[in-house]
Amino acid sequence: MKKEVTKYLQEIGRKGGAAGTGEAKARSSEQARAAAYARWGKFKQKTPDTVAFRKPDGTTKIVKQKPNRLSARFSGLLNNLINRSKTLEGITPFGCTQEDLIWHVERQFHTRWGGDAMTWDNRSDWHIHHLIPLATFDKDNIEQMIEANHWSNLQPLWEEDHHIVKRRKTVQERAPYIDRQLWTPRATVIDSDGLTVEIEE
């Protein structure tokens, strides 16, 4: 599974968008370099965390680079799949097929206070929430990102609710991942606490 996920993630860009060709990436990098040069002068040094530019007056400007985290790539791929802007056959990195992933998100649609119903047409008004917060995982570890983004850990929430819940960083008690990774969405139900529960035979 790890190899398949790595292959998928290689197809999407730094911010989770569509895959870019090597030529496009090189062109983007060259454009960024040219823009930086125009603003600060020539590159002085580059490290994994920062880029230092020498300004025309001889002083140095340190710019912190945004890390290229796996979590951003998972987020981009997730949005592309549920929005149907990208199609993947078979089991996705989220532990189920794309159709089952969409079905799982849709079955959790709900109406917020005031009467607005959650639909695909108001997709910009709601976010995908991680029931076990991403903050509890290593965002640069692929095994942990696979667990964090398992379909059973995903829930649609209105934007305002998502921001409130996300700040709590609480961990909800639930079935262990070693059990949940064997489940399929259509063999489960959502309980009164919003958690995915396997249907007992």
In this predicted structure, what is the pLDDT of residue 140?
87
Residues ≥6 apart with Cβ < 8 Å to 154: 78, 94, 101, 104, 105, 128, 129, 130, 131
What is the tens place of the pLDDT at every residue in 49-99? 555 555 556 666 666 655 557 899 999 999 999 999 999 999 999 999 999
Domain boundaries, the chain: 2-14+68-198
Q: Calculate the CA 45 to chain-centre distance.
A: 31
- Higher-scoring residue by pLDDT: 182, 21: 182
pTM: 0.69
In this predicted structure, what is the pLDDT of residue 51?
56
In this predicted structure, what is the pLDDT of residue 34?
56
Q: Are 135 and 145 in contact (CB under 8 A)?
A: no
CB atoms within 10 A of CB 98: 19
In this predicted structure, what is the pLDDT of residue 69?
75
Q: Are 144 and 136 in contact (CB under 8 A)?
A: no
For residue 52, is it left (φ>0), alpha (ψ between -120 and 50) or beta? beta
In this predicted structure, what is the pLDDT of residue 98?
97
Residues ≥6 apart with Cβ < 8 Å to 162: 126, 127, 129
Task: Grade residue 40 by pLDDT with cuts at 50, 70 and 90.
Answer: very low
CB atoms within 10 A of CB 65: 11
Q: Are 194 and 153 in contact (CB under 8 A)?
A: no
The pairs formed by 100-103 with CB atoms below 8 angstroms and a separation of 24 or more are 100/151, 100/184, 100/185, 100/186, 101/151, 101/154, 101/185, 103/185, 103/186
Task: Grade residue 120 by pLDDT with cuts at 50, 70 and 90.
Answer: very high
Residue 39 has pLDDT above 60, yes or no: no
What value does the mean pLDDT of the chain take? 79
Residue 164 has pLDDT above 70, yes or no: yes
Average pLDDT value for residue range 142-150? 95
